[in-house]
Amino acid sequence: MKVKIGLIAIAIAIIVMLAKHYLVNQQSPIAWLSFATVLLLVIGLLLVIPFNLIPFIIFDNHEWIANDSSVKLVKKLRLRAVLFNNISVIVFIATLLVIIAGFYVLIHPVDSVKVVDPANVITVRVSATAILIFLVQILFRAFKYLLRVAAFYNGKADALEFHAIKPETELDKIMDMFTPDKYDISDLGSPSLFDKLPGK
pLDDT over 60 at 195, yes or no: no
Q: Can you tell me the distance from the alpha carbon of 58 to that of 86, in angstroms, rounded to the nearest whole number?
A: 8
Per-residue pLDDT, 112? 46
Mark whether 12 and 77 lie in a shared domain.
Answer: no
Q: What is the pLDDT of residue 59?
A: 55
Q: What pLDDT was estimated at residue 179? A: 76
H/E element, 162: helix 118-165
Contact between 114 and 183 under an 8 Å Cβ cutoff? The reply is no
Same domain, 67 and 30: no
pLDDT reported for residue 3: 81
pLDDT of residue 44: 87
Query: Which residues, other chains included, contact 76 with Cβ-Cβ below 8 Å and sequence gap of 6+?
Result: 61, 62, 63, 65, 67
Q: What pLDDT is stored for residue 26 in this prediction?
A: 59
Containing domain of residue 175, as a range?
A: 54-196
**pLDDT computed for residue 184 by the predictor:** 58
Count of C-beta atoms within a 10 Å radius of residue 69: 9
pLDDT value of residue 129: 80
Residue of higher predicted confidence among 165 and 181 = 165
The reply to whether 181 and 118 lie within a common domain is: yes
Of the two residues 176 and 117, the one the predictor is more confident about is: 176
Q: Is residue 103 domain-shared with residue 16, that is, in the same domain?
A: no
Q: Are residues 102 and 25 in the same domain?
A: no
Domain co-membership, 62 together with 23: no
Number of folded domains in the chain? Answer: 2
**Cα angle, residue 25 at apex, residues 19 and 31 outer, rounded to 5°:** 80
Claim to verify: residue 157 and residue 63 sit in the same structural domain:
yes
Predicted confidence (pLDDT) per residue in 93-104, tens digit = 888 888 888 777
Residue, of 78 and 56, whose pLDDT is higher: 78
pLDDT band at 84 (very low <50, low <70, confident <90, very high): confident
Buried b (16+ CB within 10 A) or exposed e, 8-38: ebbeebeebbeebeeeeeeeeeeeeeeeebe
Mean pLDDT estimate for the chain = 76
* Mean pLDDT across 144-156: 87
At 131 the three-state DSSP class reads helix
Co-location of 25 and 81 in the same domain: no
Quote the pLDDT of residue 107: 74
Q: Which of 10, 30, 49 is the last residue of a domain?
A: 49
User: What is the Cα–Cα distance from 156 to 70, expressed in whole angstroms?
Assistant: 12
pLDDT digits (tens, 9 = 90+) for 14-42: 888 888 777 766 555 667 777 888 888 88
| Same-domain check for residues 174 and 139 | yes
Most distant CA pair in the chain, distance: 77
Q: Are residues 35 and 71 part of one domain?
A: no
pTM for the whole thing? 0.57
User: Same domain, yes or no, for 157 and 180?
Assistant: yes
Please tell me whether residues 148 and 92 are part of one structural domain. Answer: yes
